């Protein structure tokens, strides 16, 4: 842990954050996985959690550090002396972290299983443990991403159809404007500016609403947001909308507009 293999958020910056587990305090110090603290314990950094212990009242623990996306999901980390005080019946460690040489992880795991398998030892890599924790989450994310992409595609097609229909239904209005001195280029420019303004306002309102909805997660201490991907998606929406507006402007101003005015 001291070699920096974990992303740790603490109440205060310190050169050796793991020493916070041994700091003298009226309350026992503990570290916890950030997602577990938020969704399982309904707690957070600096807050107190009552831990059930053997044969007594729950022991209050202050969460002095949160681990981001760690292998300790669902676990609480406390100092060794505090652990022995809280759980005196546990006489020996049951969990070991082994730093294997790079590229030899499989060989080390096989050797441990071969020599310690008869004693009930189980060996798993950190990648396997993390994949186990995130498998359900990744399944939901993949489903929502697929549905979101389908919704974006349908929305883009619907936007283009709506713009074209709206423009074609206003051909008589454009014919009247053409008869009063506007040129076809002026009509196309006005229609493009009108639709582009509505599009930008709609995207802005949607972006603000979406940010309000996800603000608690975005502002979380372990949040990792792909702002570049979000910016590319917004630009793609604007590009599709502007392209649809351009097509609508061309479709509405071409052909014999004055014939529609004569019919009116």
For each of the chain's 264 residues, which pLDDT tens digit applies?
555 567 788 877 777 777 788 766 667 888 888 878 887 888 888 888 888 877 677 888 888 888 887 788 888 888 888 888 888 888 788 888 888 888 888 888 888 888 888 778 888 888 788 777 777 777 887 888 788 778 877 877 887 788 778 777 777 777 777 777 878 888 888 888 888 888 888 888 888 888 888 787 677 655 677 778 778 888 888 888 888 888 877 877 776 666 655 665
Structure tokens at 60: 């209050």
Residue 3: the pLDDT is 58
**Residues in contact with 44: Cβ distance below 8 Å, sequence separation at least 6, in sequence order:** 37, 38, 63, 66
Buried b (16+ CB within 10 A) or exposed e, 213-225: eeeeeeebebeee
pLDDT digits (tens, 9 = 90+) for 175-212: 777 777 878 888 888 888 888 888 888 888 888 888 88
Provide DSSP, 183-209.
-HHHHHHHHHHHHHHHHHHHHHHHHHH
pTM score, whole prediction = 0.54
User: Length of the chain in residues, anyone?
Assistant: 264
> Quick one: angle between helices 227-253 and 126-169, nearest 10?
20
């Amino acid at each position: 842990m001291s070699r920096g293999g974990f992303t740790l958020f603490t109440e205060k910056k310190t050169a050796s954050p793991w020493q916070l587990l041994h700091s003298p305090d009226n309350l026992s110090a503990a570290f916890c996985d950030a997602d577990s603290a938020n969704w399982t314990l309904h707690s957070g950094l600096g807050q107190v959690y009552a831990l059930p212990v053997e044969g007594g009242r729950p022991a209050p623990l202050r969460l002095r550090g949160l681990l981001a996306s760690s292998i300790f999901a669902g676990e609480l980390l406390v100092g060794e002396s505090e652990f022995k005080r809280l759980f005196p019946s546990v006489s020996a460690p049951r969990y070991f972290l082994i730093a294997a040489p790079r590229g030899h992880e499989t060989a080390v795991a096989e050797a441990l299983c071969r020599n310690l398998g008869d004693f009930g030892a189980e060996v798993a890599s950190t990648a396997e443990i993390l994949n186990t924790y995130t498998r359900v989450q990744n399944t939901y994310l993949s489903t929502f991403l697929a549905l979101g992409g389908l919704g974006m595609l349908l929305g883009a097609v619907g936007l283009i159809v709506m713009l074209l229909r709206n423009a074609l239904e206003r051909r008589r209005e454009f014919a009247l404007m053409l008869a009063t001195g506007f040129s076809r280029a002026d009509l196309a420019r006005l229609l493009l500016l009108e639709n582009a303004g509505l599009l930008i306002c709609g995207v802005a309102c949607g972006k603000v609403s979406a940010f309000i909805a996800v603000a608690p997660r975005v502002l979380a201490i372990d949040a990792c947001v792909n702002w570049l991907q979000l910016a590319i998606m917004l630009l793609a929406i604007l590009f599709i909308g502007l392209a649809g507006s351009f097509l609508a402007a061309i479709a509405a101003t071409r052909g014999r507009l004055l014939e529609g005015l004569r019919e009116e």
